[in-house]
Amino acid sequence: MIKTSSIKKVRDLISEQKKNTKSVGLVPTMGAFHEGHESLIKKARKENDYVVVSIFVNPAQFAPNEDYNLYPRDIKSDLLKAENNGADLVFMPNDKVIYPEDYSTYVTVEELTDKLEGKSRPSHFRGVTTIVTKLLNIVTPDNAYFGQKDAQQLAVVKRMVKDLNMPVKIVGCPIIRNQSGIALSSRHHYLNRTQMKTAVGIYESLKEGVKMIKSGTSDFGAVKERILDVLQNFGIKRIDYVEFNKWESLEPLRKPEGKVLISLAVRIGNTRLLDNVILDSPRL
């Protein structure tokens, strides 16, 4: 496995692969790998001849009051996991490589980014779409892999690639959960054992919502009330949002229609956690 922080070296290596008609898969990450990241690398390994993993904690997607400086970093462990799961190349640029001193260009996707996470974190998606665009331009992969845990991010990236005619397939991958159903997140490093037990309530609340919809409840107001009740019963009091949106357009929904994204964001202690489910609306 090759490691580099050089854009030129990445491009040279990819050019060599493409001369030999090799397919290239990219897994963009911010590091602090868990089994969710590993599942993305494994899928990329299965579906491509050459696998690139990027590790870059992107300052442009953090607001000034967010956890950029505290975000977990464990490059030694990440490199070992990347290699063990089949990565051929790890691209680890620093801030100056990605954002030179005179940097002033950003990529913005409208409409999809003004709700859910975008409403809570107004500058977030501009940072996400900019870094993803840069990585796609640097690596020029045939396929790029993103987890469903950040469902809105997945929808936004898919729209960006479609709108800008980028020659890459965006592959959405399932959420990886632990035995308690908690969606794995690098931010779990911030939680103690008691808080991790509290976090079980996140997925339990979503399961209750799914159960209601599948049993015929068409009033999303009632479903939301049940989700909130379950969260509060687990001691989760700080709830940023619980929303129902059409997948992948993210149009708000009041009743079942097509594929439904139920997503939420909560805070446990000082840690903000996301989760979601996507389900097909039942035929009523």
Domain that holds residue 260: 186-277
The CA-based angle 280-113-251, given to 5 degrees, is 35
Give the whole-number percent of the chain exceeding pLDDT 90.
Answer: 99
Confidence of residue 284 (pLDDT cuts 50, 70, 90): low
Question: For 105-118, what is the mean pLDDT?
Answer: 97
b/e per residue, 203-235, with b = 16+ CB within 10 A? bbbbebbbebbeeebeebeebbebbbebbeebe
* CATH code: domain of residue 158: 3.40.50.620
Domain match, 12 and 143 both? yes
- What is the C-alpha end-to-end distance of the chain, expressed in Å? 53
The mean per-residue pLDDT over the stretch 7-20 comes to 98
Q: Are 68 and 112 within one domain?
A: yes
Average pLDDT over residues 116-144: 97
Distance between CA atoms of residues 7 and 246, nearest Å:
38
Cross-strand partners of 173: 147
Single out the residue in 145, 173, 201 at which a domain terminates.
173
90 and 155 assigned to the same domain: yes
User: Are 67 and 9 part of one and the same domain?
Assistant: yes
- For residue 179, being part of any structural domain is answered with no
Which residues are designated catalytic? 37
The tokens describing 227, both together, are 């989700």
Number of structural domains (the chain) is 2
Sheet holding 259-268, edge to edge: 238-246, 259-268, 271-280
Q: Are residues 195 and 168 in the same domain?
A: no
Q: Give the 3-state secondary structure of residue 260.
A: strand
> Is residue 284 in a domain?
no
Give yes or no: residues 136 and 197 share one domain.
no
The pLDDT tens digits for 46-99 are: 999 999 999 999 999 999 999 999 999 999 999 999 999 999 999 999 999 999
CA atoms of 127 and 60, how far apart (whole Å): 4
In this predicted structure, the answer to whether residue 283 has a pLDDT above a threshold of 80 is no
Contact 163, 109 (CB under 8 A): yes
Query: Over the stretch 28-49, which tens digit does the pLDDT of each residue have?
Result: 999 999 999 999 999 999 999 9
Instruction: Give the per-residue pLDDT at 163.
Output: 98
Q: Is residue 33 a part of any domain in this protein? A: yes
Q: What per-residue confidence (pLDDT) applies to 190?
A: 97
Same structural domain for residues 225 and 148? no
Same domain, 114 and 210: no
**Is 220 found in the same domain as 163?**
no
DSSP secondary structure of 126-191: HHHHHHHHHHHHHH--SEEEEEGGGHHHHHHHHHHHHHTT-S-EEEEEPPPB-TT-PBP-GGGGG-
Residue 135 sits in the same domain as residue 236: no
